[in-house]
Structure 1
């Protein structure tokens, strides 16, 4: 037979005719001689199979689109029996009013089904996008769908119409759900972004977007977000796969964090969360399935572990759900479904249901609890035959118990960033605030005039938000005012006495991260210190590792000359970007807040806080050519917020912080103060006009201030025009500023808008939404603009059309501004410098990192990286080619001593790393070089890291309290660890077992553990190792041990006397001890005592054999193994090298 060349996929023959199914979608009936087509039926997709019924009255066929139907030959009618997806089903949602179910699949379709008839009602196809999450509105015929492009769309099923399209996400949607009351919708994506939408109206709109809060590495799933039955709480896995976070659903305020990885103290492997689910409202429990095949049942208010179920499946549980009456639990995993008795009252508490051939992606009860739906390789609808729960008359009253009698008068204020609470703890606990780093505190400050009071009752934790409103308003000066002052004749080194305008009586920190706040300072400068003459120093600073992310605008780079400088504490680091060599300018005694470089790159200005006893903070003027401080300026009383040079470098303007509230103008040639005036409200940033050295502008609360300098002989006049921000922005802080081309001026706000001003009319003619957070950095070059914010993003905008739009005034459209590039970094953006074309630049973040940015290549490379806050320990590798550091930020970092570059970093979230040790060289000659470090953490755990494999090899939990000291035995076969409770544990890194616990120092934190070798029978005791433990109560124990023979014997016990009460000391200095490398059998001790001294104690003579006087009580100690040198650190910021 010859045909039209169409492929036949199936053929079926009966005694009277033949049926064929072909690639063109036709089912055809032929006579047995195939002379002509008798009957045909067209399908939307190729026919994959055809089968004639035994009575030859019907022909059954299937299509590649997943449809099953039959052709009735006598009536010539075609009936579709079933439709199905062509590929795996990714997610579903069920609603109870209209009894419908929606599914999404890899075949790029969204389908809506009738649960009663199981017939398909609607079919939506996304040609170039794959739907991956779906949710029904609980009360309206609205369907929300999330796509792999990051788009979230809502559809009206009643009108079969698209309602609204949201593009807050950039990648695959992993979670999408409505609150049970239908007021809110939530979505999350693979990048960790979480969005909150209001659904009060039919068309939803965005209320809040948070970045990096949902776990990126927990794996995508359709039910990543869950809302409690009362619509009050939202839960998800994040910000890491080890953490489960609970938020207030209506505001996304964080209420609770639970660290899943530490709940199992007996496991050496890190457990992570996979899925979460709320129990019905009366129970108040949160269920978490974990990677170790458990289900943890937690108290949703406190995070307390109520009970756990293990093992649940052979592999991790991919989905879980509870029945509405709270009696049954569904879990999916291992391609099976299990139904559990929630109370776990029987010997076997589950039943297994088999049917899926692939991974079960989602499982849930229907709202009437009559069926169970599961999806994966297909859609399964199961009859649920369990007896219904008896109705309890107390159910209604139980729900009302937790209800407040009085409604809230005001909505709670959202936090600006997430508070990183430790372990299993509620943020309601008062002690939680102590874990914030200094740089975090300023980012999480509340808005002006508000205070937050946190209370925790005995039975039920709650948050009480108290709003305090200032009675007095900030002083608003006239729009134009003129002040005239004569040029001062005093020396610039002497603070001027002048009459200042009255300031606002309320010095509340502004609601802006851009405003500088110094780190908490626990140390004081030495009363007298004489540095050695130049050229005769024994110690010389070689390198500084770190960038102060707490500063603001504290990094400068001139692309023409290559000059690059940044601050770390009170040190200015001038670094060669090609060679990496550093010069250190040491002129400040306090933390440097900001830097400014002149346009000719010949002068650098730096500002820091005031020293103890000084009445004004310090501004240093540096000659860049030779690094010499040519002048020190004193004027501002608290901190300098920002500085800028005029275009011709004749003037320097300095801006005081919110407590100082003054602006000062300096003559850069004479370094004299020309003019100073008070400002009625805090200001955040200042910039000189590129067109005139007499014009400048600064930004503050709700206004831009344009300044004009007029100089006639010795008289200097200053005029100011205060231009309010556009009313459309509402109450807002203008936080950043930069001049653009011609007469354009850009300013950022704390709500994410960028305003464009015309400097000829001093009016704002255009705004656009540039970010979801506060914009603290702006840099403009030619027709491009860079913005940096506290969402950790820097964005590159094309603003070429803005100049043309200036002529249109208020009618300018922000759509003419194009977002060209975007890069997400590791922290809030605090400083930035770019070349004139904005193609490349350097950006600083609060994480203590300086990044090289190349927009052309869309790359970001770490230039400088350090610990975000306090460094707690440092140790060297045995070959002295590397060193390791750890800090309160929970990181362990390995550095190359040759290049001072970061080699590898190990990060533990929500824990502080307190102590560190490098594994010593093996005793045997053929042993491999050590590539391991061990670290102790605040949760009592010990982690062993392999540097060569860049992974954690072992986790142990020998302590109930935070670790304070750790050391390897001399052969590296044992780990000695000491805790805050004074217990010393000896553990084997080979087996992970703790073989011995010593309680001699119990009650006083261990400060030092150190091991050294000895002759086996030396000191009259057996063992090839000598080790000591020091505790903060000025006691030192010395031990001899042979771990292979399980021998550990106390050799000596030392107690050092001290006065009854310290005078002038807020806290006692630590007790420290170390074995003396050049005097075997001798140890050195420093600590609080009768005198400020270092004591050398002989273990053989049992007495102090030498004393070295010290200027202060020591806080750190290290003895050189190669020479008779001892390094001693003091709380007065002094480091001294002593020759012994």
Structure 2
């Protein structure tokens, strides 16, 4: 097994953005970088060059992010499990390392805010915790804490610091708006409840302008409350007629006194600060969850729940799509034959083709409300073949994404695996019911050649031999079957006490390697199906993805333990380990020229790693 002394894989690029974290996208005061979460990793991205840095330290999904006024510190909080503590990490931005780890909250950290002079950090616990804590950043310790909401009110969701005082901050949530004063000598925080009269609102976000005269609260009911910070009284509430649909998720005050408003239905608006009337509005894909202002009068970056990032100019207010990402689990990744410049990934609702070096999306093929389980490029590169959960096989053109062919009712319980032959004229598909089928692809039509029924559960992987006369299928029933594609009978069968997830032919095709839920890698003889050796692949969780190099010297694995491992085929030893995924790894591929490895995971991330061995 891999020890602590195993070399680390170098992470080159990440395609991914967790658009569900409220105010997760942040602009650093240096005006050069954006900071945002993906799973348990914080990503620092250079705006112009696109270069990425990574902060690793959280053990579970990051739930909130804040950047200090000077830019010296970045703070992030995480989610954890019931009964466990949820960490807050303060990062030293210049050194890109942990400055302090603060542990008090239970289950989840809901929100964070720095004081204007970087002296204090206020953290708000989630629903199961319900406390608000003020931390001394220099001493790395808690000063004091208090229940965030009064007994009569609900859960507190947002916190914001005043701009001119290190001793005043605001919290708000379900039926509560409080202004807090820090009493340092007595180590106490004292709340004053703001009076809103008959108005009862659930507040999602707080914005405090530079002068600290008033503050603004965005609500789930789609209106904005304006509250006097000195008198703690409600000044106004609007807009009266045209409320923001699906609630106000983000608020940002501009120097002009106007407000930028992001709402749950994907509308991003510029509103008058006086009466909340809309001046300009744009509709984006997914609900607006975070807005980052870059400098004064430069750009606004907007993140949405569909994992898209847009850039706006203040003057023209036109959206430019700067980053696209998967917003749900990615199930498969493939390269076209013989080229490493592109790769394709599949997820719920879509297939995407990416440019490998720039991580830019080149093509998106959408099939609404369906999930693509597996995909492949035809050998001639003229089509993308894909397996879908509605039981259909769909064939698309890679350049335009045009639908070329649909095979209806290919499998009764969804198509779960697919592979194409070397001559690009036939497909082998596997289904949730366990059948393996061979299809002939003709111009504009298709023909079922054979149906092979031996598996008792879903077929999870298919590999075709280079002469197109044999294939191997891995199934959840604990069997790997080697099929004769000329006579359509079983040549050989491999049995193990596991659910097989993945299988690969060694390039010389005399052995196969398998893996699955028993966390072991099995080497098997193709000729008679006998076991050759068994390796312990993981200490926790199934192995879901495996890929072998063209020369057969090394292979890579990834699974539920979130680690990408590079193995020597002959020695059976781990040579390198990649740490970076926050969700279970679902698939891995080595690019054809052995320059890098691409891995995908259940949290929607696509990671590109530098391949460590000479090809």
* TM-score, normalised by the number of residues in structure 1: 0.47
Deviates more, 1:676-685 or 1:830-839: 830-839
Q: Describe how 1:914-953 pairs up with structure 2 within 5 A.
A: 914-920=373-379, 922=380, 930-953=381-404
1:1030 aligns with 2:480: no
Unaligned runs of 5+ in 1: 1-527, 803-813, 923-929, 1015-1023, 1042-1046, 1059-1067
Partner of 2:530: 1103
1:1069 Cα deviation (Å)?
A: 4.6
Partner of 1:627: 96
1:746 Cα deviation (Å)?
A: 0.7
Evaluate the alpha carbon distance shift between residue 1137 and residue 955 of structure 1 in structure 2; reply closer, same or farther with a 3 A threshold.
Answer: same
The one of 168, 174, 183 equivalent to 1:701 is 174
Answer yes or no: is the 8 Å Cα contact 2:195–2:232 preserved in 1. Answer: no
1:591 aligns with 2:61: yes
SS at match of 2:441: coil
1:960-982 residue CA offsets vs partner (Å, 9 max, x unmatched): 22111011112211121111011
Q: Describe how 1:785-800 pairs up with structure 2 within 5 A.
A: 785-799=259-273
The one of 516, 523, 538 equivalent to 1:1087 is 516
Equivalent-residue separation in structure 2 for 1:1048 and 1:569 (angstroms)? 48
1:19-39 residue CA offsets vs partner (Å, 9 max, x unmatched): xxxxxxxxxxxxxxxxxxxxx
Answer yes or no: is the 8 Å Cα contact 2:64–2:110 preserved in 1. Answer: yes
Equivalent-residue separation in structure 2 for 1:1051 and 1:701 (angstroms)? 63
1:880 aligns with 2:340: yes
1:1074 aligns with 2:543: no
1:557 aligns with 2:27: yes
SS at match of 2:14: coil
Equivalent-residue separation in structure 2 for 1:1095 and 1:736 (angstroms)? 52
Q: How many pairs does the alignment contain?
A: 555
Answer yes or no: is the 8 Å Cα contact 1:565–1:573 preserved in 2. Answer: yes
Partner of 2:433: 981
Partner of 2:489: 1050
Evaluate the alpha carbon distance shift between residue 747 and residue 996 of structure 1 in structure 2; reply closer, same or farther with a 3 A threshold.
Answer: same
Evaluate the alpha carbon distance shift between residue 611 and residue 1119 of structure 1 in structure 2; reply closer, same or farther with a 3 A threshold.
Answer: farther
Answer yes or no: is the 8 Å Cα contact 1:954–1:989 preserved in 2. Answer: no
Partner of 2:71: 601
Answer yes or no: is the 8 Å Cα contact 1:589–1:611 preserved in 2. Answer: no
The one of 927, 950, 956 equivalent to 2:407 is 956
Equivalent-residue separation in structure 1 for 2:373 and 2:456 (angstroms)? 18
1:836 Cα deviation (Å)?
A: 5.3
Answer yes or no: is the 8 Å Cα contact 2:500–2:514 preserved in 1. Answer: no
Equivalent-residue separation in structure 1 for 2:105 and 2:221 (angstroms)? 29
1:571 aligns with 2:15: no
Evaluate the alpha carbon distance shift between residue 652 and residue 531 of structure 1 in structure 2; reply closer, same or farther with a 3 A threshold.
Answer: farther
1:182-241 residue CA offsets vs partner (Å, 9 max, x unmatched): xxxxxxxxxxxxxxxxxxxxxxxxxxxxxxxxxxxxxxxxxxxxxxxxxxxxxxxxxxxx
Answer yes or no: is the 8 Å Cα contact 1:591–1:609 preserved in 2. Answer: yes
Answer yes or no: is the 8 Å Cα contact 1:839–1:856 preserved in 2. Answer: no
1:365-404 residue CA offsets vs partner (Å, 9 max, x unmatched): xxxxxxxxxxxxxxxxxxxxxxxxxxxxxxxxxxxxxxxx
Equivalent-residue separation in structure 1 for 2:232 and 2:517 (angstroms)? 63
Greater share of strand: 2
SS at match of 1:1013: coil
Answer yes or no: is the 8 Å Cα contact 2:492–2:526 preserved in 1. Answer: no
SS at match of 1:995: strand
Equivalent-residue separation in structure 2 for 1:750 and 1:1086 (angstroms)? 47
1:766 Cα deviation (Å)?
A: 1.1
Answer yes or no: is the 8 Å Cα contact 2:412–2:432 preserved in 1. Answer: no
1:649 aligns with 2:76: no
Q: Describe how 1:17-32 pairs up with structure 2 within 5 A.
A: none
Equivalent-residue separation in structure 1 for 2:543 and 2:202 (angstroms)? 46
Equivalent-residue separation in structure 2 for 1:784 and 1:906 (angstroms)? 38
SS at match of 1:873: strand
Q: Which has the higher contact order (CA 8 A, sep 6+)?
A: 2
1:821 aligns with 2:280: yes
Structure with larger Rg:
1
Equivalent-residue separation in structure 1 for 2:2 and 2:551 (angstroms)? 28
Q: Describe how 1:427-438 pairs up with structure 2 within 5 A.
A: none
1:824 Cα deviation (Å)?
A: 1.0
Partner of 1:993: 446
1:531 Cα deviation (Å)?
A: 4.9
1:1125 aligns with 2:554: yes
Equivalent-residue separation in structure 1 for 2:157 and 2:2 (angstroms)? 36
The one of 1039, 1043, 1048 equivalent to 2:483 is 1039
Answer yes or no: is the 8 Å Cα contact 1:1001–1:1031 preserved in 2. Answer: no
1:565 Cα deviation (Å)?
A: 1.2
Answer yes or no: is the 8 Å Cα contact 1:970–1:1025 preserved in 2. Answer: no
The one of 291, 302, 309 equivalent to 1:832 is 291
1:904 aligns with 2:363: yes
Partner of 1:636: 105
1:529 Cα deviation (Å)?
A: 8.1
Answer yes or no: is the 8 Å Cα contact 1:1083–1:1098 preserved in 2. Answer: yes
The one of 564, 577, 583 equivalent to 1:1135 is 564
Equivalent-residue separation in structure 1 for 2:235 and 2:220 (angstroms)? 19
Equivalent-residue separation in structure 2 for 1:702 and 1:860 (angstroms)? 35
Q: Describe how 1:661-672 pairs up with structure 2 within 5 A.
A: 661-672=130-141
Equivalent-residue separation in structure 2 for 1:903 and 1:877 (angstroms)? 14
Partner of 1:690: 163
Deviates more, 1:1119-1128 or 1:544-553: 1119-1128
Unaligned runs of 5+ in 2: 570-615
Q: Describe how 1:232-311 pairs up with structure 2 within 5 A.
A: none
SS at match of 1:880: coil
Could you say what the CA RMSD is over the residues aligned between the two structures, in angstroms? 2.1
1:1010 aligns with 2:463: yes
Equivalent-residue separation in structure 1 for 2:490 and 2:430 (angstroms)? 19
Evaluate the alpha carbon distance shift between residue 772 and residue 1093 of structure 1 in structure 2; reply closer, same or farther with a 3 A threshold.
Answer: closer
1:334-369 residue CA offsets vs partner (Å, 9 max, x unmatched): xxxxxxxxxxxxxxxxxxxxxxxxxxxxxxxxxxxx
Q: Describe how 1:432-511 pairs up with structure 2 within 5 A.
A: none
1:543 aligns with 2:17: no
Q: Describe how 1:772-783 pairs up with structure 2 within 5 A.
A: 772-782=245-255, 783=257
Answer yes or no: is the 8 Å Cα contact 1:744–1:757 preserved in 2. Answer: yes
Equivalent-residue separation in structure 1 for 2:181 and 2:366 (angstroms)? 51
Evaluate the alpha carbon distance shift between residue 647 and residue 577 of structure 1 in structure 2; reply closer, same or farther with a 3 A threshold.
Answer: same
Equivalent-residue separation in structure 2 for 1:655 and 1:768 (angstroms)? 27
1:1050 Cα deviation (Å)?
A: 3.0
1:949 Cα deviation (Å)?
A: 2.9
Q: Describe how 1:314-393 pairs up with structure 2 within 5 A.
A: none
Partner of 1:610: 80
Partner of 1:965: 417
Answer yes or no: is the 8 Å Cα contact 2:480–2:500 preserved in 1. Answer: no
1:876 Cα deviation (Å)?
A: 1.1
1:468-500 residue CA offsets vs partner (Å, 9 max, x unmatched): xxxxxxxxxxxxxxxxxxxxxxxxxxxxxxxxx
Partner of 1:366: none
1:869 aligns with 2:328: yes
Evaluate the alpha carbon distance shift between residue 778 and residue 726 of structure 1 in structure 2; reply closer, same or farther with a 3 A threshold.
Answer: farther
Evaluate the alpha carbon distance shift between residue 670 and residue 1010 of structure 1 in structure 2; reply closer, same or farther with a 3 A threshold.
Answer: same
Evaluate the alpha carbon distance shift between residue 701 and residue 1057 of structure 1 in structure 2; reply closer, same or farther with a 3 A threshold.
Answer: closer
